[in-house]
Amino acid sequence: MQTYNIHEAKTHLSRLVEQAALGESFVIAKAGKPMVKVMALDAPEPAQKRRVGFLKGQVRVPDDFDTLFADEILELFGIEK
């Protein structure tokens, strides 16, 4: 994605808008810091990342999960059972 400073974007606004309308989005920066992203109105929304629950149905949690490796953990801390 191309980045343009404000002055350059103002100078070439018509051409840049045409490019954005054809699907070539771009970023306008001020003093090197990205400020806005210009893209076509009918451009598809970026797919949102789904993180929570992405392994639902693929992972099984054992019934003794709370006590799993309890003896080993106590031993690591030097605690006798």
- CATH number of the domain bearing residue 33: 3.40.1620.10
Q: Would you say residue 23 lies in a domain? A: yes
pTM score, whole prediction: 0.52
Q: Other C-beta atoms within 10 Å of 16: how many? A: 20
Q: What is the pLDDT of residue 47?
A: 76
Q: What is the pLDDT of residue 55?
A: 83
pLDDT in tens, the chain (81 residues): 899 999 999 999 999 999 999 989 999 999 999 999 999 988 777 777 777 888 888 988 889 888 889 999 999 999 887
Q: What are phi and psi of 2, to 5 degrees?
A: -80, 145
Q: Would you say residue 29 lies in a domain? A: yes
Q: Would you say residue 55 lies in a domain? A: no
Domain region containing 28:
2-38
- Residues whose CB is less than 8 angstroms from the CB of residue 43 and which lie 6 or more positions away in sequence, other chains included: 23, 25
Q: What is the pLDDT of residue 29?
A: 96
Describe the strand order of the beta sheet including 33-38 as a list of residue ranges: 2-5, 26-30, 33-38
Domains: count for the chain: 1
Q: Would you say residue 33 lies in a domain? A: yes
Q: Per the structure block, which two tokens stand in for 11?
A: 């100078």
